[in-house]
C-alpha cells in the first residue's frame, strides 16, 4: 500500500491519465512537478549538474553519475556469458542480443 496520500494521488494519475503540471513552452503535461522541471530544462538549456573533470553539463544528476564513469573507467555491468563490461545497464542489455540472436 501507499503510506502517504500524496504518493497514492500520483499513482492514481497513472491510471486516470491526469497530468496537472503543464509546460509553459509546449503542450506537454506531467503527473509530477519534478518531471515538469526536468522537461523545462530541455527548453531553457539549463544543465545544473557539471562534471568536475571535463565541465560537461547535465540536466539530471543521474546522467552526471553515469558520465563520470567515462573518466573513471568504471564499468559495473558485466555480461554473465562472455564477461564484457559496460558503463550503462542499457549497453549490457543491447549486448546480450549477441548471445541470444
pLDDT at site 2: 65
* Best CA proximity match to 87, nearest among 63, 61, 60: 63
Domains of the chain: 5-44 (3.30.160.60), 49-100 (3.30.160.60)
pLDDT at site 10: 87
Distance between alpha carbon 5 and the CA centroid of its chain, in Å? Answer: 25
pLDDT at site 1: 66
* Best CA proximity match to 29, nearest among 40, 45, 43: 40
pLDDT at site 99: 96
pLDDT digit of tens for each residue in the chain (101 aa)? 667 778 888 889 989 999 999 999 999 999 999 999 999 999 999 999 999 999 999 999 999 999 999 999 999 999 999 999 999 999 999 999 999 87
pLDDT at site 101: 72
Amino acid at each position: 500500500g501507499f503510506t502517504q496520500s500524496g504518493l497514492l494521488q500520483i499513482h492514481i494519475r497513472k491510471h486516470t491519465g491526469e497530468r496537472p503540471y503543464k509546460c509553459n513552452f509546449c503542450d506537454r503535461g506531467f503527473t509530477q512537478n519534478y518531471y515538469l522541471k526536468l522537461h523545462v530544462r530541455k527548453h531553457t538549456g539549463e544543465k545544473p549538474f557539471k562534471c568536475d573533470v571535463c565541465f560537461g553539463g547535465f540536466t539530471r544528476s543521474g546522467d552526471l553519475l553515469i558520465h563520470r564513469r567515462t573518466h573513471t573507467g568504471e564499468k559495473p555491468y558485466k555480461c554473465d556469458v562472455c564477461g564484457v563490461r559496460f558503463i550503462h545497464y542499457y549497453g549490457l542489455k543491447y549486448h546480450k542480443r549477441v548471445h541470444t540472436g
